[in-house]
Amino acid sequence: MQLLKGHWQLIAITLVLFVFWNTPVVIPLKILIVFLHELAHAIATVLTGGSVIDLSVSPNQGGHVISRGGNRFITLTAGYLGSLVIGIALLVIALRTEADRAVLAIFGCLTLLVTILYVRDWFALLFCGATGLGMLAIARYLSRPVNDMVLRVIGLSSIIYVPYDIFDDTIRRSGARSDAYMLAEEFGGTTLFWGGLWLLLSLVAIFCCIRYGLGSESNLSFRERTRS
C-alpha cells in the first residue's frame, strides 16, 4: 500500500479499465495498443536495416506489418515487448515529468507520419489519422492535466493488454500463427516457450515499473502538478 501511496488516480483508472474491458467503450484503446504493437515491429525493422511496406490495424483488434529485410529475431520479438515498453514509457513520463503536452504532440506526429508512409487500407487510415490528429488537438488546446491523464490511460491500457494478449495468442491458442509461432518456425523452440518467455519478461517489466517507476518518494503527485 505504501508503494502506491499518492497514486489513487492510477488505481481508479485501472479499475475503470477492468470494469469496461469487455465493452465497446475500450475497443478504441485496444486497437491503439495493437497499433503500438505494429509500430514496434516497424521501428525494429527500420532500426535493423529493413524497410516497411505496409502497416495496418483492424476493427477486430488485429494488425500486421509487411516488411522487407531487417533482423527477424528482433522484429518478431519487438511486437509485444516493444508495445509494452512504449506504454510503460508513456506512463512513467506522465508520472515523473511535466512534458505531457510535448510528448503527446510528438506521439501524434509520429502516428500521422507512420499513417502517411505505411498505412494503406481505409479503416487503418481513418483510425490512425483520427488518433494522430486527436492527440495533436489535445496537446494544443487542452490543459496539461488532461494531457497527463491521456498518457496515463494509454500507458495503463498497454500494461493491462499486452500480458493478456501474449497469453491469449501464444499460450492459450499456441497453434495460432502469432509472432511466437513464426519465431519458433524460424529459430527453433516452441510457441509456448517463446510466449512463456515474453510473458515472464512482460511481468518483470511491469513489476519494475510499479516498484521503481511509481515510487512516491521521487515522484510528483498528480494533485501537485495540477496546481502548478
Q: What is the pLDDT of residues 74-124, one digit of tens each?
A: 999 999 999 999 999 999 998 888 999 999 999 999 999 999 999 999 999
What are the tens digits of pLDDT across the range 192-209? 999 999 999 999 999 998
The model carries a pTM of 0.88
Task: Give the integer Cα–Cα distance in Å for 156 and 168.
Answer: 19
- Better pLDDT: 95 or 54: 54
Query: Among 83, 84, 86, 94, which residue's Cα sits nearest to residue 10?
Result: 94
Banded model confidence at residue 215, pLDDT cuts 50, 70, 90? low
Using a 10 angstrom Cβ sphere, with 0-12 exposed, 13-18 middle and 19 or more buried, the burial of residue 177 is: exposed
Q: Residue type for 157, please? A: S
**Which pLDDT score is estimated for 139?**
97
Q: Percent of the chain having pLDDT more than 70? A: 89
Averaged pLDDT, 24-35: 94
Task: Give the integer Cα–Cα distance in Å for 182 and 79.
Answer: 12
